[in-house]
Structure formats: structure tokens, C-alpha cells
Amino acid sequence: MNTLQTYRIKGMHCASCASIIEKTFKKTAGVESVQVNYGTETAKVSFDKTKTSAESLSKKIEPLGYSLEFGQTKKEKLEELRSMRNKIFSVIPLAVISIFFMGWDILVGWKIIPEMSQTFQTIFSIILPIMATYALFMVGKPYLLGVYRFLRFGKANMDTLIGIGTLAAFIYSLAITIFAKQLAAYINVSQTYYDVTIVVIAFIALGKYLETRSKLKTGDAIEKLLNLQSKTALVVRSGKEIEIPIDQVVHGDMVVVKPAGKIPVDGVIAEGTSYVDESMVTGESMPVGKKAGDKVVSGTINTSGTFTFKATGIGSETLLARIIKMVEDAQGSRAPIQALADKISGIFVPIVLILAFVSLSLWILLGSHYLGFSQALSFGLVSFVGVLVIACPCALGLATPTAIIVGVGKGAREGILVKDAGTLEKLHKVNVVVMDKTGTITKGKPELISIKNLSGEKSEGEISGISDDELIAILATLENRSEHPIAHAIVSYAKEKNIDLLSTNNFEAIKGKGLKGIVDGIEYFVGNSKLIEDLKLTLDSGLIHGETLQGKTPIILATAQKVLGIFMVADAVKPEAIEAVRQLHKLGIKIVMLTGDSKNTANYIAHQVGIDEVVSEVMPEDKLNKIKELQAQGKIVAMAGDGVNDAPALAQADVGIAMATGTDVAIESAGITLLHGDISRLVKAINLSKITMRGIKQNLFWAFFYNIIGIPLAGGLFYPIFGLLLSPVFAGMAMAFSSVSVVGNSLRLKTKKI
């Protein structure tokens, strides 16, 4: 049976490394599929446990300089970063000294300053080989290992290129130092390249350090989510409160949460009341009142009273754990736009090696005719090293994943959960959004939205002149005995308005028509127009006909003598829906509403919100067919629904968007999940997709630009025309800057408003 696991990889330095690891795993028996991501330094592997294991996979790549990590902590990553920093601090002073002497030579050539004294030249000629030896064999050890593995296994990566280039410069310089007299007749023995070895290794090491440090920052969304998790829980065992590690909580445990405490697992309140800060899930800053029977989720914070709840979701079952898993999976996934960069990176290193040797050969063969062998060999070596150093596939490998990591993390903080990178890429192309009505545009539950007080002026001899609040008190008192959803809406309205309920007796439900009961000695009737007809009371049909056409349900309160009031109940439009539709229109997106409701109700809601097209009285399969119809017209369709009864349409849409309240639906049900069912986050999700894709395209442009311009320049293509030849030192700077600039551009997405 196949298992799908994601592992961190140690020793991966460039996009070519990812390609090597991927190819090695694919050749392993039992591995069905593998996806290696350089940006996240992870491998997602599907394999048959009966044929191979994680340990076996790790051993397959260990000879190549890589290994699978099993539980590396943030502390270990920081320690690794500290080790890199120490090496850089040791080599940077050597690079500064080398640059000083290089600069002196350049200024002497321009006749700006006099030549260095013979004493200084002698000292420098002695210490330079020593500094180069330290730089190459201590700080540059990974690059030499890259050369070794290339010679032994035929696998080349970026370390191989740097290693060959700096080693070639060092060996050439060392040969001149040792055999100066013997070689003087053939080449210019006054020109060595120790400084190139030192400075290139220093710049590459610095670039790697800055890149690694920046990459740690790109993944801080996961760290922040992990920090929301409580480490311990206070549970009641054998009648006593004891504090235990979070992983020891079991289903059914009674968990006590005190003021300012984090809720450790998901559950249902059994005792007590409080206000809970659920901004982690809902994005809403105001704490939410909680009482017995209400759900609570892990990671949220109790702000006031103490309460006890029954644990219903533990470990990986909790909402927070599922969110973290979803964000991790999305950040590690591969966007389709990355395919081109991956293909290029996979063949990049061998091509660069060929180009470097071709450049060296052409300089020697052709350059010797015009410049002489000594000068041609010198230029050829500079070009050889320059091509190897500047041709870095790292920027190509980082272009997409770093932007995806930042984009997905930013979305998670905004209550937008992205399932995979492909979904995020497709979302920016969407030009039609199809929305379900109930739960998406409307709140999905009935609310009391209007009151028509017909009790009349205050007078003697009959019930009259009753205030709206008094009518609500009577109505809610009677409806409090009913289980109908409309009754809940009326009772909830009374609670929100702080209207106290009254005492009642002789309550009776009248099947299909309403109910009746005695409140403060007076018999009242509550129900529909049929009940009023049975009471032989007069009611102007015009008072309710127009509103029933809009999908509102009239609830009539009366005595045996007269109608006292009409209360309209409806599924109210979400306040944010109107603004969301307006913003979507500004983005040039057409909005289609699909609903099973009647035509009149659907049209009324659509008019309120500003919907472009309405399709009413549809079944789930009709929604699916409408999506197909739009796609057949060449539209890129996003479907927003509740993720349950809209499942077929969500699956068919180019991008499925689930409106989750945070606890009531599986967040894995669609490509995008909007927490708290907030439709305004759909606009943010599309804007997030747009800025992320813009960042990826910018990254890819600069990654290609560096190589398209840098390789010919380093190879000497422009020398015959413009006299330009790129020094390996500047090639090293450019290579380091290319990776850092790509990561930096991705981090810039954090500051973008969506």
C-alpha cells in the first residue's frame, strides 16, 4: 500500500540539486511519484512501504551529498545558519584584502596611483596563496565535494560549477607560483588568480547565507500558526484538575480553560460562559460570546470567564492542525508556471559546463591568432571561471516556490486557505464567479428583518397601542416553545435586543398553521395567513403579498379579535456581499448566482447585491451543467459554495471555493477555503493570486535575465565588439545577488495590500 509523505532535505543548494534528487528517487523500486521543491527544501514522495522506506530513500541520495531530515527543529536550522555566518566572517576579511590589491592594480593601470612598493608586492605574493588555500579548502569545501561527486557519480549541480571554476583558477595560479621560471617562456607568469578564488567563494558563501536566512523568513506563516498551538491542557481526571501535554488529551476529556488561556483542542462547552477571541479562525477582532453547547476550536483564546469543554477533536483532527497541514502542503506544491524553470534547471548545469569549456577552447584557438597565446589563455581562463560562476540556476529554482510560500502564508493570515499552488495560479485568470445563494450571498439562516405594528393607537376596551418591543416580547415568548428555525430567528432577535421573555401557559402547536398560548392572561395566536382566516380576522393581503414575492416569510401575531402585527422573516443578505460583488466587478469579473429558490426570491436577492445573471430553481446537477456551459464558452470559472451540497459544481469549476465557517465544513473540500464564510475574502483571494503571479513573473524575468546576459558576457562574446569581459569576481557578485534579489522580491509580497 502506497503512503504519501513529505520530508525535509538536507544539503540541497540549487534547483539542479532538486532535479538530481527527483531523478534518483524515481529510479528507486517502490516509488510511485516524487516532487522535490528547492524553495521549501522538501520532497513529497509516494512509495510502497513494502518495497522501500524513508531510511532507504535517504541512503540513496547520501552519496550525492543529500539526506532526508527526520524532525529538524527551527533551533537546528538556526544553528546551521550560525555556522554559515561564522565561515563568512572568517573569509570576508580575506576577500576585502584581495579586493584592495585588485583595486590597486586597476588604478595603477589607469595611471591614477603609483605602483605598489616591492615590499608590499612580496608580502602580498606570499600571503595570497595561503589565503586562497584557506578559502578553497575550508570555506569552499562543499564546492570541492561537488567536483568529487561529479567525477565519481556523474551528477553535477551548482556546487560543481563553483568548485570547478575556483579550483581551476587556484591550480593555474599554483602552477605559476611553483613553476614560474619554466612557464615564463609560454605564458604571463605575473598574472595569478588566487584573488578570484578567494573573492568568488566569499561572495557565493555570503549569497548562500543571505538566501538561507531569507528563505527562513518566507516560511514564517507556518511558524506563527504553530505558535498558536497550546503546549499543555488542564483536564479533569478522577475529579482533579491536572496539567498534561497536549498530545495526551483524549476524546471525551473535560478540559478547563481559564481567562487568557489558549484553547488546546477542539470541543463543545459543557459548563460556564465566556468570550473567546477567534480572530485566528474568523479574522474578526471582536471576541465571541460562548455558552454551554457552543463549539470552541484550538488556538483561539479565552478572554474572560472560566469554562469547561468536552474534547471532540484532538491532534491532527483539530481545525488548527488541519489549517497548518493545508498551508504546508500548499507551500510545498508546484505551480504549473514553474514547469519551464524546472526543465531548464534540470539540464542547466551540463550545458553550462559545455559552454565554459567551449569558451576556454575558442579563446585559446581563435584568440591566440590575435592576442598571442599567453593573453588568450589568460582571457580564456577568466571566461571559463566567469561562465561557471555566473551561471547559477538557483534564481530559477527559487523564482516560483519562494513567491508561493509567501503568497500562501499571507493568505492564511487573511483567512484564505489555499489547497495547492496550481489553484493559486489559476485563480488570477478567473473571469466568471458563480455563487450559490444560501450561505454564500445570504447568511444561510432566517432572521427577523422587519416589523409592521398593526395594534393601532392606545385606546380603552381592546388590546391596542402596543410597542414594537412589547410585540416582540409576546411573539418570542410563544416561539420560544417551538423548535422551528423561524422560531429560533425570532427568539434570537429578542435576545439581541435584550427583550425579556414573559411567562406562558396553555401552549399549543396548530399543525401547518402556527401556534397559540396564553401570555399574561391573554390568548395570542401566531402563524400564517391560513390561521388568520380560521380566526375570521380581516387582513389586507397587500401588506404581505409584495414581500412574499421577495422570498420573505410573514409571521402574524393576533388575538381572537384583531391582528396585532406582521413580522417578516428572511434569509438576510450578508452585509459584505454587496461590497464584494462591487469589487469583483471592478476586477472585470462577471457574477452568476445559482440557487434552488424561486425566481422571485432569487431576483430580489440578486437585485439587492448587484448580480449579473441569475439561474433559479436549479438542482445540484443543474449547477454542474451551468459551470460546464460557461467553460464551453471559454470562460475561466470559479465556483463559491458551501462545500457540501455544491460539491459537484465545486469539483467541475476551474477553481472551487468553499465558504467555511471555520468549524462546520472540511477545509479540504475545495481549492480555496474562505474561513468564516466571508465572501469579501474572495476578492482578497483573487488579488492575492494576482500579486503572487506578478511576483513569480518578475522573479522568472530576473532569473532568466541574469543568465541570458551574464553567460555571454562572462564567456567573452562582447569582447571583440565592445572590449567587455566580465571578471569572475563580478560574476560571483552577480550570481549571489540574483538569488538574494529573487527571494527579496518574494518577501516584498508580504507588504502588499490585498
Q: Does residue 40 come out as left (phi exceeding 0), alpha (psi in the -120 to 50 range) or beta? A: alpha
Give Cβ neighbours of residue 272 (< 8 Å, ≥ 6 apart): 292, 305, 306, 307, 308
Q: Across-strand partners of 271?
A: 308
Distance of CA 23 to the CA centre of its chain: 27
Whether the Cβ atoms of residue 474 and residue 517 lie closer than 8 Å to each other: no
Give Cβ neighbours of residue 45 (< 8 Å, ≥ 6 apart): 4, 5, 6, 7, 25, 31, 33, 34, 35, 57
Give Cβ neighbours of residue 390 (< 8 Å, ≥ 6 apart): 706, 707, 710, 711, 713, 714, 726, 731, 732, 734, 735
Q: Residue 520 catalytic? A: no
Residue 446's φ and ψ, nearest 5 degrees, are: -70, 145
Checking 476-479 for CB contacts under 8 A at 24+ apart, the result is 476/501, 477/501, 477/502, 477/503, 477/504, 477/517, 477/519, 478/504, 478/507, 478/515, 478/516, 478/517, 478/519, 478/524, 478/526, 479/515, 479/526
Please compute Rg for the chain using Cα positions. Answer: 36
Nine-digit cell at 584?
469583483
Nine-digit cell at 418?
489555499
Instruction: From the candidates 436, 597, 642, 678, give the one annotated as an active-site residue.
Output: 436
- Sheet containing 232-237: give its strands across: 240-245, 232-237, 254-257, 307-313, 266-271, 295-296
Q: Across-strand partners of 302?
A: 276
- Rounded to whole angstroms, the Cα distance separating 472 from 458 reads 18
Q: What angle do CA 208, 82, 21 make, to 5 degrees?
A: 45
- Alpha-carbon dihedral 21, 24, 27, 28, rounded to 10 degrees: -90
- Rounded to whole angstroms, the Cα distance separating 513 from 509 reads 8
Q: Across-strand partners of 673?
A: 417, 658
Q: What is the DSSP letter of 610?
A: T
CA end-to-end span of the chain: 43
Query: What single string gives the DSSP state of each residue in 271-305?
Result: E--EEEE-HHHH---S-EEE-TT-EE-TT-EE-SS
Using CA of residue 84, residue 90, residue 91, residue 93, what is the dihedral sign? positive
Other CB atoms within 10 A of residue 327 CB:
23
- Rounded to whole angstroms, the Cα distance separating 252 from 734 reads 60
Give Cβ neighbours of residue 691 (< 8 Å, ≥ 6 apart): 407, 749, 752, 754
Task: For residue 254, give the 3-state DSSP assignment.
Answer: strand
Strand (E) or helix (H) holding 613: strand 613-615
Other CB atoms within 10 A of residue 490 CB:
24
- Sheet containing 67-69: give its strands across: 31-37, 42-48, 2-10, 67-69
The closest of 749, 696, 737, 708 to 208, measured between CA atoms, is 737
- Catalytic residue set: 436
